[in-house]
Structure 1
């Protein structure tokens, strides 16, 4: 008995050790026993999941609160992910990923495993790590055990695909989820994400309809007010102003921020202008006055004036609209967010309402200089600007060459006097600009820049404002200078790399020419002597400068027959291209007709005559007028492709054939000029638009030739095979097969 009691402590210790070992074994992350699962569920939830979830929620809240909204554009339903914008919350997201990763590393049997992976996917999505986010969401959908968690992962997958602009896969996931029994949270997130997909695709009516179905599941708050504002924008864009107004009114009932409330009011007024509700339109004037007088709107006056201009434009009062738009630009101050869109609207009015393309170009240039390249309007604006650049170029060519040709016919004495007057006028303008610059320097040094006459005159067009008042022109000028000249110090003779050479060329003032330079006068000489020397230098420099300017003018005037022929050729080409620009790019047949007629009158033997006849026929036909151009074309040029096009039935004719022919000629001209890379790019982009036209196989053959020139023999052979496959009935097929045989021989010899 004594031995039993003597050994009892040892037995107790062994028993405790055995129980602890069993407990630890039973708590393995791979065990399915209740004690083990309970331990890992508890540990995973509070030591990892909750921390990671809260960090991601906080990061999302920070990104939402610090977002920069461009209310001049359609707001995105979900904030697009951006790795740069997420940099401030990157440490939180990294820590959230680290915490959530503890669960798959240490708690495999926890019920929070799928949720942890979803958190990792969300964090990677916010960091714009889209490939890894997509992989994580796919993994949860494949390996997950909870249907709700799998659905949540698929909603995240939809979002990730959308951010990657992979809309096809995003919609495939959406179509699958549409058939699944989703819980309330997943249903809400599914609808919002699907609406975001359609908004990104430009399907605004669908996006608005989906948002309407989502609002019953949303609580009042800033995010809901923002979605109501977006729904109103979407309905505005789809031409449903009454529905838009209803959503703008709901913004005010959803606990909005001041900005959301302000813009909802502005947008509602804009929509009222579309409904034609005269009573509400009359009330809008008082509303505008109240907004402008409200001190809280001191930094938002540019938006108010912009809306006032928009309403005037919609009511056909174009000049008044332009005036309000200019006031908007003046009121913008340092905040230039609205300015490019205001310039764009003024440009549209000059382009679409006034058909003043030169002024439209000026405003479009200014808009593009300030507009972010990621703006949805940027690409369309750039295309229109290129068209207007061409327009101004052709008009300038015609005007300049005609002026020079007229000068060449003038009496020499009268011409010399005219040039003197031109130079004198230019000197006066330069002096006025210099005086104005001096005022700016003096008043700016006294801190009174705004007191300079005209410095902030927003009624001037961008090209009418002096360059130092126009930040757009100033920026463009600085950039053009640095491209041409590099970074040059501010000094005299900055163009010259050799200052001694510049002094030798300076004229009579140079000591090398035996003259007396102002710099040769001693600084200790009497004041009268210095003044006389400076005055002499100034007079001599002015005389030399005028002579140089006059010589430069004379050099440009085409006095010889050869120079006049070249000038006329430039006018002829410009008239031809300007007419086509009016017809196709600007869709102004009424302007194209007199341009083409002027071309035929001035240059009756132009090589473009058959095409011009055809385009005159189409332009008159487009305006519903009868003309004799088709008959003239068939009578004078019956064997041309233009005659064949004009002779087709009405059902077969149209602008498609004309555009195809014009495009083909442009590509062929590039090919003849040995600009084969550009020609191939144009051919690839245009081939689909040639479908069904008579020139389709011809362009395809030209593309084959261009591929051979640009991409080598292998690509050339492949393109030949594609032609034979796609155009088995083409009359060009024998030629293409001969080309195929030659290419095969080249390949065989190379081997």
Structure 2
């Protein structure tokens, strides 16, 4: 045969070409022939799928090993996707996507096609490319041929929706998968993803229950130990410490890392405190002692002291708890991870247990300064800090202006002596402040780590004059300074006594604080390096100490409100501060017992305050909250029957179709009287209607009609007052913009009745 083709080379060439063409056609990626499918299955599996799969697994392993666990918070069941954290493995993920993409590009008839798309979706998910990940998983579910692959894609889709906080769609996918026959791997991933979704939604009992059902299909190892630790946390947060302890004990049996076993022991001790197990609590002191003496725990002592503080706080020993928390901060060194949460716990004790809001502000300020903004506690902490800032501001305003008004009433000789004494006292305090600041700086600068809280030899160098590169030592120094001496703004020469008269004489003989000075607190005020010798001779005058002292006294005199106008302004500030402080006590701080005397003081000192109806109403609510009877409701109904506060305090109207119909009929009648120019009768009916139909949808319209009628019948001043009352009483009304326009026009010098 060879000889046959040798004599006919043209036929040989045609035969070879035919064989090659047949082979290529049979290996087409669109062919369904066995040889073609076998070729593409083999090529796509080893040349693309296996490489992409292994690269994604390696990337996931790297992300797991490099994770930064915050044991002060509930740990996430699955590591949340983060584009920044995935940057180190981005090249691997990109290459995995590239390799997996070869299969849909070149091997369409391969059985690995669905798996390739799933790998692409997983890689995009890890890169936080959520929209594209969602589309890929949806495509597999729609076009996939294997039920197991479609289920795997749906688990990935549920994870992507969860990461996007689209819990509605995530739940829809979960409900569908719950009815499907999943294989072992998909069952495991489905349970973990569903538990993660419920954890993110704050449904801790459900998440813990799902994890309990997952453990039988998990192998022992660090990842399983981590899940047992999280399950214990979830049960602790759900108020089931006994179940939590069981999981903390299982952590120790699951080949945990050292950190996991350490925190499992600490959490178990905390849970024992919640169960009231006296026997185990008695053993905790010895356990703490052993943990503190263990050399492996040198860098974890702050966590141990923190746990000791938590136990004391739960037992009601708040002072002991604060002492242990302080030791935790001192033991932190350069590792500040625990510190903001320790400050937060101290702040909570001062806020919730001691109701010492000034000290609470100090620790909340420090916690906020060190806490990462992505922390779940950050937003709530910032809100509470704002409340405390307002509290200190109002208290300072009341104390300062009240002291100044008191000084204005003194006879000249007594006032002169008072100011002399204040200047002398201020100079002593300034000198002590400078000495304290210098002492803190010197301790840190000289590397005396035993005397500088939170500092270590590696943190402080002998030649570092501007201390406190260590944020813990910085925060401690600020606290020590501010708690002792109060608020110092960011400015040069803060020791000068004549900076603000209120700083020198605030609190002097004040009827609000019994004549004792009170310091504002601000741990974020920086410690300026000062020369302590300057404190003995105040500057500010070329004539020496005598003239400087006179200049200081003149500055203080200038701040005292001797004129009627200045006294009126000071009283207005006090009135506003009392009103706002009372509302702060009532709403933000939930302290009606403190709100009542504050509001009563407002009414006693300023009986003509414009806020009187609201204050009456808030006094009624505060007494009602405390279970006390009072006459404030009766006073409100008698003196201000036409205000929204009287309607709220009076009889409530049932929200029914009948009441709405009656309100509409009444409104129509009043409006007809208005059009007929019978405005006096219309106004009388409007007053009665507002009381009778409080809470109906037409209430704000009735109120506006009444305002217009007041403008027709009464004076311009009464009209302006009615407009202001509408703005105050109906802040959410859609009619408010129109009313504000009317108020602007009414405030014009040429305004007349409407």
Separation (CA, whole Å) in 1 of partners of 2:650 and 2:2: 128
Q: How does 1:678-697 map to 2 (within 5 A)?
A: 694=695
1:378 matched residue in structure 2: 378
Deviations 1:497-549 (A, max 9, x none): xxxxxxxxxxxxxxxxxxxxxxxxxxxxxxxxxxxxx9999984544543333
Separation (CA, whole Å) in 2 of partners of 1:453 and 1:12: 94
Deviations 1:95-114 (A, max 9, x none): 11111111111111111111
Secondary structure of the equivalent of 2:331? helix
Q: CA deviation at 1:223?
A: 0.6
Q: CA deviation at 1:231?
A: 0.6
1:277–1:402 CA distance, 2 compared to 1 (3 A) = same
On the 8 A contact 2:114/2:149 being kept in 1, the answer is yes
Higher helix share: 1
Separation (CA, whole Å) in 1 of partners of 2:401 and 2:641: 34
2:124 matched residue in structure 1: 124
Separation (CA, whole Å) in 1 of partners of 2:379 and 2:700: 27
TM-score of the two chains, using structure 1 as the length reference: 0.76
Deviations 1:128-186 (A, max 9, x none): 11111111111111111111111111111111111111111111111111111111100
Instruction: Tell me if 1:610 matches 2:609.
Output: no
Separation (CA, whole Å) in 2 of partners of 1:163 and 1:109: 33
Q: CA deviation at 1:605?
A: 2.3
1:239 matched residue in structure 2: 239
Separation (CA, whole Å) in 1 of partners of 2:260 and 2:539: 68
2:561 matched residue in structure 1: 558
1:648–1:3 CA distance, 2 compared to 1 (3 A) = closer
Match 1:547 to one of 546, 550, 559: 550
1:570 matched residue in structure 2: 573
Unaligned runs of 5+ in 2: 457-465, 482-486, 494-536, 656-692, 705-732, 743-754
Separation (CA, whole Å) in 2 of partners of 1:2 and 1:398: 115
Deviations 1:242-277 (A, max 9, x none): 111111111111110000111111111111111011
Q: CA deviation at 1:474?
A: 8.3
On the 8 A contact 1:162/1:170 being kept in 2, the answer is yes
Separation (CA, whole Å) in 2 of partners of 1:216 and 1:620: 56
1:701–1:318 CA distance, 2 compared to 1 (3 A) = farther
1:344–1:641 CA distance, 2 compared to 1 (3 A) = same
Instruction: Tell me if 1:111 matches 2:111.
Output: yes
1:69 matched residue in structure 2: 69
Q: CA deviation at 1:319?
A: 1.0
On the 8 A contact 1:440/1:452 being kept in 2, the answer is no
Q: CA deviation at 1:475?
A: 9.6
Q: CA deviation at 1:237?
A: 0.6
Separation (CA, whole Å) in 1 of partners of 2:345 and 2:431: 35
Q: CA deviation at 1:47?
A: 0.6
Secondary structure of the equivalent of 1:626? coil
1:448 matched residue in structure 2: 447
When the two chains are superposed, the root-mean-square deviation of aligned CA atoms in Å is 3.5
On the 8 A contact 1:29/1:36 being kept in 2, the answer is yes
2:683 matched residue in structure 1: none
On the 8 A contact 2:541/2:551 being kept in 1, the answer is no
Q: CA deviation at 1:444?
A: 5.4
2:646 matched residue in structure 1: 643
2:274 matched residue in structure 1: 274
1:299–1:267 CA distance, 2 compared to 1 (3 A) = same
Bigger mean CA offset, 428-437 vs 16-25:
428-437
On the 8 A contact 2:444/2:452 being kept in 1, the answer is no
Q: How does 1:489-500 map to 2 (within 5 A)?
A: none
Q: CA deviation at 1:437?
A: 4.8
1:633 matched residue in structure 2: 636
Q: CA deviation at 1:362?
A: 1.6
1:373–1:444 CA distance, 2 compared to 1 (3 A) = closer
Q: CA deviation at 1:10?
A: 6.2
On the 8 A contact 2:595/2:622 being kept in 1, the answer is yes
On the 8 A contact 1:100/1:120 being kept in 2, the answer is yes
1:731–1:19 CA distance, 2 compared to 1 (3 A) = closer
On the 8 A contact 2:332/2:454 being kept in 1, the answer is no
Secondary structure of the equivalent of 1:195? helix
1:525 matched residue in structure 2: none
Count of equivalent residues: 613
Q: CA deviation at 1:440?
A: 5.7
Instruction: Tell me if 1:213 matches 2:216.
Output: no
1:144 matched residue in structure 2: 144
Secondary structure of the equivalent of 2:449? helix
Deviations 1:321-345 (A, max 9, x none): 1111111111111111111111111
1:435–1:390 CA distance, 2 compared to 1 (3 A) = closer
Separation (CA, whole Å) in 2 of partners of 1:699 and 1:484: 48
Separation (CA, whole Å) in 1 of partners of 2:478 and 2:84: 26
Secondary structure of the equivalent of 1:332? coil
Separation (CA, whole Å) in 2 of partners of 1:32 and 1:536: 97
Deviations 1:483-505 (A, max 9, x none): 999xx9x9xxxxxxxxxxxxxxx
Match 1:593 to one of 589, 592, 596: 596
2:422 matched residue in structure 1: 422
Higher RCO (C-alpha 8 Å, min separation 6):
2
1:183–1:581 CA distance, 2 compared to 1 (3 A) = same
On the 8 A contact 1:582/1:589 being kept in 2, the answer is yes
Q: CA deviation at 1:604?
A: 2.1
Q: How does 1:136-535 map to 2 (within 5 A)?
A: 136-438=136-438, 447-450=446-449, 471-472=474-475
Bigger mean CA offset, 630-639 vs 7-16:
7-16
Deviations 1:552-575 (A, max 9, x none): 222221111211121111111111
1:695–1:472 CA distance, 2 compared to 1 (3 A) = farther
Q: CA deviation at 1:630?
A: 2.2
Q: CA deviation at 1:693?
A: 7.3
Secondary structure of the equivalent of 2:299? coil
Separation (CA, whole Å) in 2 of partners of 1:592 and 1:103: 71
Separation (CA, whole Å) in 1 of partners of 2:287 and 2:121: 47
Secondary structure of the equivalent of 1:287? helix
2:55 matched residue in structure 1: 55
Q: CA deviation at 1:375?
A: 1.3
Q: CA deviation at 1:304?
A: 0.7
